[in-house]
Amino acid sequence: MKIVVPKENEKNEKRIPLTPLVIKKLEALGAEVVLEGDLSSADLVIRLNKPSIEEINCLKKGAIHLSLLDPFHSANLIQAFCEKGVSALCLELIPRSTRAQKMDVLSSQASLAGYAAVILAADHLPKIFPMMTTPSGTLPPAKVFVIGAGVAGLQAIATARRLGAAVEAFDTRPAAAEQIRSLGARCLKINLGETSEMNGGYAGVLTDEQLRKQREGIKKACQEADVVITTAQVFGKKAPLIVTRDILEGMKPGSLVIDLAVESGGNVEGVELNREVSIGVTRVFGYSNMSGRVASDASTMLANNIFNFIEEFWDKNSKSFNLNLEDEIIKGCLLTHAGKIVHPLFDK
């Protein structure tokens, strides 16, 4: 089986989907791996970010394409895959099950994004994170407030605690409270009434009234914090607006906010993609691809996720990837096959 890895088309992308070590492991399975090779001869294309229409048009009928595809905003790409008869596997849609955990690209990258957000905050905050007692007096620890205790949020909590900050966090899912406390952070309690959790551990959509209560509940925590990190996202939908302008304008001089949901619309009012903006006395960071700030480790994790996915479905006899249409993992992430949209979320 010929695996082709095309050059990434995102100008500032520093991550890669396959590392040299993983390429050797794929070759040991019997695959032929070609970097930046001819797409028209590829049996399986592996890339990181979504392709262009032109790239899809180069693929042969029956080829398999594996990458991040941003499926809720890529109707034109999905249609192009159908027209070319390409089987498109979407890394974002790999089920969050125990068996698929080792293939979960979103979780591995979110974990690194949470870490990178805290390091960015520590670099830009005009004070140190840990408490420090000196002959000149005692410096109190920085206060960090994390909104959303999913993979990114939990890693942000853990990293901020390791740096010595006093950390508080909030999540709409009641089950997250124990995880927050287990990392040594204080869990902010807000009575939102009944909240839901989607498959895969994603928080459910809040009502307008619940969002209003949430904003009221977090206002004091934000305005007492030196750093606020927001991570709240709803699968397949625009990120909820949580930190409003009036909250930002009431924060302390020198405080900063890092919005890790900026690529899906943002949790912070006034955030701008890939920019730092000032709102009142608060600096708001809306940088995309935060895991790319630690590109070496991000690439290692990505490549391992992808290899684990391929190995799970590798046929040792034919030395090829077995697109098992009956397997729950394949069914969960297969967008198009044999000229049709086959995923239930998009087959409309």
The verdict on whether 202 is a catalytic residue reads yes
- The pLDDT of residue 160: 98
The verdict on whether 264 is a catalytic residue reads no
The verdict on whether 101 is a catalytic residue reads yes
Catalytic residue among 97, 202, 223, 297: 202
Beta bridge partners of 133: 138
The verdict on whether 287 is a catalytic residue reads no
- The pLDDT of residue 58: 97
Catalytic residue among 47, 104, 108, 215: 104
Catalytic residue among 70, 96, 297, 327: 96
Is the model's pTM score more than 0.85? Answer: yes
Catalytic residue among 67, 87, 107, 299: 107
The verdict on whether 107 is a catalytic residue reads yes
Domains and CATH numbers, the chain: 2-93+294-341 (3.40.50.720), 111-288 (3.40.50.720)
Per-residue pLDDT of the chain (348 residues; tens, 9 = 90+): 999 999 998 888 999 999 999 999 999 999 999 999 899 999 999 999 999 999 999 999 999 999 999 999 999 999 999 999 999 999 999 999 999 999 999 999 999 999 999 999 999 999 999 999 999 999 999 999 999 999 999 999 999 999 999 999 999 888 899 999 999 999 999 988 777 665 555 666 788 888 889 899 999 999 999 999 999 998 888 999 999 999 999 999 999 999 999 999 999 999 999 999 999 999 999 999 999 999 999 999 999 999 999 999 999 999 999 999 999 999 999 999 999 999 998 876
Closest CA to 334 of 313, 311, 303: 313
